[in-house]
A and B are shown apart, each in its own frame.
Chain A
Amino acid sequence: MAHRKFCCPGALLLAAVLALFCSSASSQTFEAVRKQVQTHVLPNGMKFIVLERHGAPVASFHVYADVGSANESYGITGISHILEHMAFKGSKVVGTKDYAAESKILEQIDSVYASLRNEESKPEPDPAKVAELRKQFAGLEKQAKEYVVNNEYFDLMMREGDNGINAYTSSDATQYINSLPSNRLEFWMAMTSDRFLNPVFREFYKERDVIMEERRMGLETQPTGKLVEDFLAVAFKAHPYHHEVIGHMSDLQSITRRDVETYFAKFYGPSNLTVAIVGDVRADEVFRLAETYFSRIPGSPKPEPVRTQEPEQWGERRVAVSAKAQPYLVMGYHVPDARHKDSRALDGLANILGQGRSSRLFSSLVKDKKIAISASASSGFPGDKYPNLFVFFAVAAAGKTSAECQSAIEDEIERIKKESVSPDELAKFQRRSIKNLLDQMANNASMAALLTYSDVILGGYGKLFDQIDQIKALTADDLKRVANQYLVKNNRTIGEIIPEE
């Protein structure tokens, strides 16, 4: 294509039309990649997805456990995230000098801890008994520590060159990530199957302390962290998106090792695990090794999905966090899950309203009215496996208020409900979706994440590419319809930080 300069809206429209027809290179790329993806399901239900990419002798590994904080109930909030941490504590083989001896002490620790909790929860605990139990507990922890090889999982993985060792927990999923030189494929199989076959939740109570520090750091010392916690609690009165991934402090202080073992047995079985491996590997070898290593894990039934559904909202809800901080605004509207037919139209609405410098919110609130320094929209908050929220975030400019931001956002919502989006805007969304997908595909780790997400949440890895076709088929009327259906006052929750004097 020749060098082209645009200087009038007509030329811009031409660019938009070109966007629809000129993406054949991307379409070919997507088709080629789709054809290269291979899958294999073990008899125990565990699924492997492989995309061979031979550009560099490395591979990224992504284990997606279809369980997150939405699967938690009262009393054990935060337990999915605890399990994310505990997966680094080793197994009967890794992280111990003598598992047989160690396990006896771990049992004793649990038993003393139970007595301690029991005493402490009495209306009038006996201080002498509490002190004695605490002493016993500390003594046993010290004994157990004698058998521990500190962080051996990390040591073994990092020594083999793991360049992306990590894990994440969200409302929907617990995910474990590695990136290794590709000749370490079998080593990864051995380490990871061991992780799910023989986990030992050692150093449990110390790790709980670390997680409490994580809660303080990420949430309690952050005004916006506090706001999001309260906002979710108000927006979801029934569905467990109600609570933050990190969990409530009182639950973190009370969850036991036995709770974690029970939760692990229920949710981390092979039928609930999907693995994607992207990089310089051969799919047939991956599948052969997967049979060898992961078939050992006994099958288990696929856990029941979350039963509780968020009921229809009866009126606008509001929540305020008072803090020594400047104003911050979040507005959320209930929308359906990622597999719903309206999801792509809602993504389009979010993009046109609130993503990028030419989006309507940025143009209005930031550039024209100068009342905010950022204003954005997105769907899928806090997760998208279940019906979730379409959210707006606005950070008021110095001296401006959240009320001004809210009013300006509402103006844009009303406008998009009345007037159709322009062909330029629609084309922009379509083309940017293609570009975003290409960018994510260019990286082994992000592609592995995307493949597992699409397979589990969207219902098949191929949906990743189908989405692009669905996006290309969207019309201005689709967007107008979903705006009118979902962005209504009775369906929303507004949260804000109220600055303390």
Chain B
Amino acid sequence: MKTHKGTKAALVGILILALTAGTAYAQKSPKDKFTFGLLNPIVMPEVEEAELPNGLKLFLVEDHEFPTINLWILVRAGTAFEPSSKVGLASITGSVLRTGGTKSKSGDQIDKELDTLAASIASGISTNLAYLSVSALQESFDQALGILSDIVREPVFAEDRIELARIQHRTSISRRNEDISGIASREFAKLIYGKDSPYGRHTEYRSIDAVTRQDILDFYSRYFHPNNAWVAVCGDFKSKEMVEKIAAALGKWERGTPSADPWPKVDYQEKYTVNFIDKPDVNQSSIMLGHIGGMMSNPDYPALTIMNQILSFERMFKRIRTDEGLAYSVWGSYGAGYVYPGVFSCGAQTKSQSTVYAIEIMLKELKRIMEQEVGDDELARAKDGYLNSYVFNFETKSQIVDRMVSYAYYGYPIDFMEQIKSKVEKVTRADVLRVARMYLKPDKVQILVVGKKEDFDKPLSTLGDVNIMDITIPPRQ
């Protein structure tokens, strides 16, 4: 077992020192200079690391403030690995892992036992991650851990519970065209990644019906091995004892040969498109426009983080929401992913009558941030905001261990966040302009509008040739 001690020196940047002295009892105006005393130092918890003989890697942090314990397991799997004919397989595997019972207990028994213990176990599989989590009172953690161990090692995926998951999926499919922002984000992902891409496709009745119990067992066996998993645990325990407990509960999880498939690549073709989805029963348009984003490992990610803040708040929010009153929800964000490129998008939900006007302003703002350097004040606000709120990354001990295990899982350096912070400190106006010019492509955006075209201020065709997207749900065979 080795021990990391946090470096307090890394956090000096959050201490804004006194500029002028103020008298102790007089009232200050909000815009007076304030004397901020030294912030109490962040006491970094000791993070214990251990690896069990079966290859399971553990990160532990003690937190004795309250008598509770939280534990999570990350397993390298994801919906990105399921075959396109069986979209939904990974998601069903992830949920039925928890609900479908184990060799010794039915799913119902587990539900009852956990509820009685006031403990919860959740599991799921998202695009790039499979997880299980336990949250329990300290006094009942051992029982909850026992149940978790059975679930992760000996799930039986009872057919009845698989059918329940299929019903959940079918119901979601039948309801998926009721909310315009939901429609927009789902269809926009298809425009960016491709309708058949693991990052753009979605479930259909036929893909759900195609998922068999054998598929689920196979998917589980391909990925759920201790030497393909990472555990984080935080709460009211002694680390040495906890390692022993976990070893007793999860040490018998047998090492295997997990699939080492790489994450699917993204092949993006830059293009300008205008796309429309007809929704005649609403009085607003949901608008998204953008193109492919990037990776967090990009050396320009710190400068992009600052550009994002300026674009989203200083430009989009202040202009479209505050000055124009056009939308409640508005954003502009260059998305960066851990293992595959994120999406750059701007968006808003505005009344039908201001649809095209809102799009035109967004495009103008995109061009403006590429034309000239941002203001000194804008840069200072974005950087100070990032650096002064940095301390909130250490508000709870569970955040700290959660971050460590995530970086380990995605193969990022354990001090990744500190690295970003030290680079953010150095970002200049020129850097922001450079990354805006390099990564934003207002002439090559894909525009998507979901709404009622009869009420638009101008026809969408003023923006270019309009591609009509059909979102009719293919009926179940």
Contacts and interface: CB of A to CB of B under 8 A. Distances in A.
A206 B115 contact: no
B31 A156 contact: yes
B327 A439 contact: no
Nearest to A424: B116
Interface in B160-210: 163-164, 167-168, 170-175, 178-181
A4 interface: yes
Given A55-B65, A441-B66, A183 B118 contact: no
B451 to A, nearest CB: 9
Given A94-B31, A162-B389, A435 B146 contact: no
Interface stretch (B22-30, B54-62, B299-307, B456-464): B22-30
Contacts of B112: 12, 358, 424
B259 interface: no
Interface stretch (A14-22, A42-50, A169-177): A14-22
B150 to A, nearest CB: 9
A325 interface: yes
A456 to B, nearest CB: 25
Interface residues of A, number: 101
Interface stretch (B86-94, B225-233, B334-342, B380-388): B380-388
Interface in A438-480: 438-439, 441-444
B174 A398 contact: yes
Interface residues of B, number: 96
Contact of B391 (A6, A181, A221): A181
A373 B389 contact: no
A349 to B, nearest CB: 16
Interface string A321-365: 001111000000000000000000000000000001111000100
A366 interface: yes
B280 to A, nearest CB: 9
A159 B14 contact: no
Interface stretch (A68-76, A111-119, A184-192, A298-306): A184-192
B322 A206 contact: yes
A124 B46 CA distance: 76
B433 interface: no
Residue picked from B30, B114, B397, most chain A C-beta under 10 Å: B30
Given A29-B67, A94-B31, A367-B108, A216 B351 contact: yes
B396 A56 contact: yes
Given A25-B67, A57-B39, A190-B32, A207 B388 contact: no
Contact of A151 (B26, B172, B317): B317
B105 to A, nearest CB: 7
A158 B236 CA distance: 34
A395 B171 contact: yes
Interface stretch (A100-108, A412-420, A426-434): A426-434
B95 to A, nearest CB: 11
B164 A435 contact: no
B85 interface: no
A168 B322 CA distance: 19
A221 B283 contact: yes
A160 B380 CA distance: 11
B146 A4 contact: yes
Nearest to B40: A57
Nearest to B282: A221
Contact of A190 (B28, B324, B326, B388): B28
Contacts of A38: none
A35 interface: no
Interface stretch (B133-141, B212-220, B402-410, B417-425): B133-141
Contact of B164 (A2, A359, A367): A367
A428 B385 contact: no
Nearest to A295: B27
A26 interface: yes
B241 interface: no
Contacts of A2: 142
Contacts of A398: 167, 170-171, 173-174
A156 B40 CA distance: 22
B12 interface: no
Nearest to A323: B281
Given A216-B351, A217-B329, A442-B396, A190 B27 contact: yes
A60 B444 CA distance: 43
B27 A4 contact: no
Most buried by A among B42, B116, B164, B394: B116
B262 interface: no
Interface in B365-390: 380-381, 384-385, 387-390
B183 to A, nearest CB: 11
A190 B172 CA distance: 49
A194 interface: yes
Given A2-B142, A5-B104, A151 B68 contact: no
Nearest to B381: A159
B37 A431 contact: no
Given A57-B39, A186-B28, A358-B111, A161 B385 contact: yes
Interface string B312-331: 01000110011111111100
Given A57-B42, A161-B388, A4 B118 contact: no
A490 interface: no
A93 B29 CA distance: 8
7 contacts: A3-B143, A3-B146, A12-B113, A161-B389, A396-B171, A435-B119, A435-B135
Given A91-B30, A323-B281, A431-B137, 16 more contacts: A3-B142, A151-B313, A158-B385, A181-B36, A181-B39, A190-B30, A206-B322, A207-B325, A280-B40, A293-B27, A325-B178, A326-B174, A356-B111, A357-B99, A432-B118, A442-B66
Interface of A: 1-7, 12, 15-16, 18-19, 22-23, 25-26, 29, 53-58, 91, 93-94, 145, 150-151, 154-156, 158-163, 179, 181-184, 186-187, 190-191, 193-194, 203, 205-214, 216-218, 220-223, 280, 292-293, 296, 323-326, 356-359, 363, 366-367, 370, 373, 395-398, 424, 427-428, 431-432, 434-435, 438-439, 441-444
